[in-house]
Structure 1
Amino acid sequence: MPLQSVETFVVRHTDQGHLDLDDEGLPDRPYDLDNFGRFYPTGLEALFVRIETTDGEVAWGEAQAPAGPEAVQSVIDRLLGPFLLTRDSLEPVACHDAMVDAMSVRGHSYGYYADAVAALDVALWDLAGKRYGASVAELLGGRRRERLPAYLSGLRADSLDERVSAAEAAIDEGFEGVKLYLRHDPVTEREAVETIREAVGPNPELFTDLFWAYDLPSATRMGDLLAEVDAAWMEAPLGATERDAHARLAKAVDVPVAVGEPFRTAEQFEDWLSAGAMSVAQPDVPRTGLTGGRRVADLADRAGVPIAPHLGGSFGLGMVATWHLSAAVDNAMIQEHQQRWYDASQDFLDDVTVESGQAVLPDGPGLGVTVDTDALAEYTDDSALVER
């Protein structure tokens, strides 16, 4: 059955914003700048999309849009929603590629257009699962596992003592590791890195995120420090476009280099994999879509590289879509768990579960997630409807 409607929801949750934000922010807008001059919302925000077929089947998707989800909404409302209404076949891969091709000659492989494609792609996979009575993981290649190991991302506390306590609590809860946010020079960060490694012990994984904040010499010095504490990886160490420098860094340090957050397409990952610029691939499903994420996993597997999906600004729909991808492939390493986004998701989603430090794959068809539309309305800042 073809689509009857495509509806988008700008979702905003008044939870705490990103770390190290400038208090002044943008005038009359819910955005601040971090200490590297990058936009972040003062709370949490993303875009949900709801599609409904002419026979009444409903499915959901999500785009990660950490600043300006209305831009993604506009792409869907003006272009991609009406485009999908014209299609008789809603097979996810074919629809994904058709949406990409519709703007590919204009260079729309990054940014809000790609994010809009990703949101609709997730919804189409959810729809396909419901039509076939199968979970998305089964359609992507099979449910290889029902529970997925996870790590707690970021230790959101001001003092080192509080960060240590949070790390210890995460390990006690069952998480396989924690991720530290490192933003300063190796000398400044040494105490925190060594203290938290000592607190959690030698076996839990110690991941680090460098926020694209370093140059090659300072990242190399940081890599030497992280090798001393047997860190699992150093994520996003250099500028987001510096492929060759990442390749040089990966050869120079004994810590795996993890990259992938800013990429939307399998071709972008293939370019970096071919250059040896990533030791761990981090596709972000609310940016790549499930179709793109599956292709990235296959490319990484052929290169002998594991995936560890990135999960930044995403409510529960994006989380669960990510879990389905990881459950369907053999080279998924671990899941990123963002506690504040998870907690916010519980206000309007059912069947999104992290238990004993593990992500629990839902049982139902499609994504297996139920959206409480009445509760979602309380967090919806704007909506748009396209229908035949």
Structure 2
Amino acid sequence: MRITDVTPFLLRGSQTYGAHAGQAEATDQGDWLLLVRVRTDEGLEGWSDVETMGPVAARVLQGSGMSALGFRTIHEQLLGRDPTDVEAIWDELYVATAYYGRRGVAMHCMSAVDNCLWSIRAQAAGAPLAHVLGGRRRDRLPAYASTLFRSTPEANAAAAQRYVDLGFTGMKFGWGGFGIDPGADRDNLLALRETLGPARALMIDPGWYVEDAGRPRVRTMAQTTTMLETLSDVTPYWVEDILHPECTEQYAVLAAEFPHLRFAAGEQQATIWELRRLVRDHGIAVVQPDLSRCGGLTVASALARDAEAAGVEIVTHSWLTDLLHSYSLHFLSTLPEARWVEFNVAQSDLSAGVVNKSLTLAADGTVEVPNGIGLGVDVDLAFVEAHAVSV
């Protein structure tokens, strides 16, 4: 079996990111969405979303590279390869894109392609994806609702109540200007905690940068410390991704200063080398590889061994489509322990429309690992083609 085609699908939408006044739900990346499809000469194909700068990534996936090794595009390197030779292909793509890649957009493209190849490997074996990843240990996972902070305590409380009514036993609020005004932060947090009560988990993702008066900036350590003092009052299940991604050694400092808080990080990191250092040395309690950024399932599978040895919980970052949710569910189902899967409740029309049948939350607050051969989720090709633009 050989790879015959690597095709990016760049979708255009009319929605914008953020929590907007008058709308019950926030919105993820609703203006652009990139998918990739890998096809073989035996009719098997894998799909994945690519959470990155879509218009740029489309050219990395299927553009014109240069003659020198290290400057190749993805499809140039993949055509004719055996798609089941997944790990070797990862190593080759890393070298083939090394001079403009190693991280960033090129790694995000590699991640998506890696996911596609794992799906094809499972299809070739006639098995669910979890089977070729090591075997499923559970059929369902508790899901936490993942969304953005609203601007007022009342709006945050209303959103939290909506997720309680839907059956979620955990929820994460993030970004949205959190971590700029300590007074506003405290009011919003108390509104959330009062609505959720003590039995439901509250995760907080302040983000490692803020947009302040129209300009992006990173918090000072003093501002971060003040924010963590405020967060301590509501007993979060974890505090996520609050430090500059090049300064993750500071998590160990904060963990010593705030031993009652559990820190989570990893969605900004890529490759097993970065994630391994984070897990081994930097004082986090939860590692969050994003399968569409970190290097894909090949990297996440290698990380699982390091995380288990270090006693660090794995909860993948999966804030996009049900394709990413499904890859995460399969992966998490194979781990010795898996407490949560992130469930994006802020899907835009683009994110929600790419699959034929959306994943659903059961009454007990869990989501089923997809059944069937391969990923177990089908792409709505008519929707994709209707929203695709030229690349």
Q: TM-score, normalised by structure 1?
A: 0.86
Matches within 5 A, 1:230-379: 230-253=235-258, 254-288=260-294, 289-312=296-319, 314-341=320-347, 344-356=350-362, 357-379=365-387
Q: 1:187 to 1:141 in 2, by over 3 A?
A: same
Q: Is the 8 A contact 2:83 2:121 kept in 1?
A: no
State how far apart, in whole Å, the 2-side matches of 1:277 and 1:382 are: 45
What percentage of residue pairs aligned between the two structures are identical?
Answer: 28
Question: What letter matches 1:86 in structure 2?
Answer: G
Q: Supply the distance in 2 between the matched residues of 1:122 and 1:365 (Cα, whole angstroms).
A: 15
**Matching of residue 62 in structure 1 with residue 49 in structure 2:** yes
Deviation track 1:279-336 (CA, whole Å, cap 9, x = no partner) reads 2101001112111111222221111100111123x22222211111111112433122
Amino acid at match of 1:258: A
CA distance in structure 2 between the partners assigned to 1:352 and 1:122 by the alignment: 19
Whether the 8 Å CA contact 1:148–1:334 is kept in 2: the answer is yes
Following TM superposition, by how much is the alpha carbon of 1:42 offset from its aligned partner in structure 2, in angstroms? 6.9
d(CA) in 1 for partners of 2:148, 2:160: 7
Structure 2 residue aligned with 1:15: 15
What TM-score comes out, normalization by structure 2 length?
A: 0.86
Q: Which amino acid aligns with 2:264?
A: A
2:244 maps to a residue whose letter is G
Aligned-partner Cα distance in 1 for 2:83–2:202: 45
1:108 matched residue in structure 2:
101
Displacement after TM superposition at 1:143 (Å): 1.4
Post-superposition shift, 1:41? 8.7
Unaligned runs of 5+ in 2: 22-26, 64-72, 210-218
CA distance, structure 2, for counterparts of residue 220 and residue 320 of structure 1: 36
Shift of 1:263: 1.0
Q: Distance in 2 between matches of 1:113 and 1:377?
A: 24
In structure 2, the partner of 1:130 is 123
Query: Paired residue for 2:226?
Result: 221
- Residue type matched to 1:71 in 2? V
Shift of 1:163: 1.5
- CA RMSD after TM alignment: 2.3
Alignment counterpart, residue 49 of structure 1, candidates 36, 42, 53: 36
Residue type at the aligned position of 2:261 = V
Q: In structure 1, what is the equivalent of residue 215 of structure 2?
A: none
Which aligned pairs between 1:82-231 and structure 2 lie closer than 5 A?
Answer: 82-88=76-82, 90-104=84-98, 106=99, 108-155=101-148, 157-181=150-174, 182-213=178-209, 214-231=219-236
Q: Secondary structure at the match of 2:57?
A: helix
Q: Are the aligned partners of 2:148 and 2:173 in contact in 1 as well (CA < 8 Å)?
A: yes
Q: CA deviation at 1:20?
A: 8.5
Quote the residue 2:212 is aligned against: none
Kept in 2, the 8 Å contact 1:320–1:352? The answer is no
SS of residue paired to 2:204: strand
Letter in 2 for 1:255: L
- Of 65, 70, 75, which aligns to 1:81? 75
Residue pair 1:58, 1:127 contacting (<8 A) in 2 also:
yes
Query: Deviation of residue 337 (structure 1)?
Result: 1.6
Distance 1:42 1:256, change over 3 A: closer
User: What is the alpha-carbon distance in structure 2 between the residues aligned to residue 121 and residue 4 of structure 1?
Assistant: 15
| Paired positions, count | 361
Question: Could you tell me whether the CA contact under 8 Å between 1:96 and 1:121 is conserved in 2?
Answer: yes
Unpaired runs of 5+ residues, structure 1, are: 22-39, 384-388
Q: Structure 2: which amino acid aligns with 1:341? A: Q
Q: How many angstroms apart in 2 are the aligned matches of 1:152 and 1:107? A: 36
